[in-house]
Each structure stands twice: as structure tokens, then as C-alpha cells.
Amino acid sequence: MRSGDGNYTLSCRFCTLILLCSLALPASEYLISYRSVVKDAILYNETLQIAHAMQKCEGTPQKSLILQRSNTKDIQKIIYHNMENFITYIHKLGMDVEHKEKTSNYQNSSVTILTLHTRCFKVDFNDNFAKITALK
């Protein structure tokens, strides 16, 4: 292929760039929120909500988490199989903590609520793992 002005290498570079960009698969973006309620040192309720982002998320990437996956691209299944690692990861990102303690008739009771407000995550799927990156 030769361009009209005779610049062969520029044309080849341009075609190569278009080809490589079309082969690159962008990361999927998901909105993830998490909430757990611990009552008297017992996990009372735990909610993990995952939704595919309807529009492009913006923000700077934070530290990534790599989770093993087994022949599935369902992010919810991958996270549930690696729940401890994911919970540790989102704790490092920052969660809201609400704690209430009450003593009545010498009996102590407490409620702790941990909340990760809805946040955008980029997910790259590879052969054996999924790389999850929070955007801030």
C-alpha cells in the first residue's frame, strides 16, 4: 500500500495502529456495592450488588486485585468464590463504618454496619484470572 504522497512507512504504521486498536478488548466496567451488618459479633446480613455499568466510568485507577476464575466470565460468581480476598480488598479501599453499642440490664449488645457505597470497577478477564481495579 502506498499513500498519494509516497509516504509508505506512515501508511503502514497507521494501518497497524488501526488493526491493533480493533484487536484490543476494553475492560468491562461494573458498579459494585457492599453492605454487611454484624449484630452481637454474628454476621446478621451481607449484601453484594453488582451491575454492569450503562455508561463509561471515569476516574483514576486504584490498586488492582487479581482473582482466580474457573471457566466463567460471570463476575458475581468469581467474587463469591474469592469472597475473603475481595472483602479484604474493599476494606483497603475505604468503607463507611457505623457502630452502635447499648447496655441494658447488664447485657451488652452491639451493631456494626460496614458499607461500600456504589463504586465503579474495571474488570479484565484473562485465561485463568480476573483483574479488578477500582476507579476513584
Residue 22 — very low, low, confident or very high, per pLDDT cuts 50/70/90? Answer: very low
Does residue 39 have a pLDDT over 80?
yes
Domain presence at residue 113: yes
Q: Regarding beta strands 107-125 and 96-104, do their DSSP bridges make them parallel or antiparallel, or are they unpaired?
A: antiparallel
Domain extent, residue 126, equals: 26-135
Determine if the pTM surpasses 0.75. no
Residue 117 — very low, low, confident or very high, per pLDDT cuts 50/70/90? Answer: very high
| pLDDT attached to residue 18 | 47
Residue 37 — very low, low, confident or very high, per pLDDT cuts 50/70/90? Answer: very high
Domain presence at residue 9: no
β partners of residue 113: 37, 98
| Number of structural domains found in the chain | 1
Does residue 46 have a pLDDT over 70?
yes
Residue position matching grid coordinates 466470565? 73
Domain presence at residue 109: yes
Domain presence at residue 50: yes
Domain presence at residue 8: no
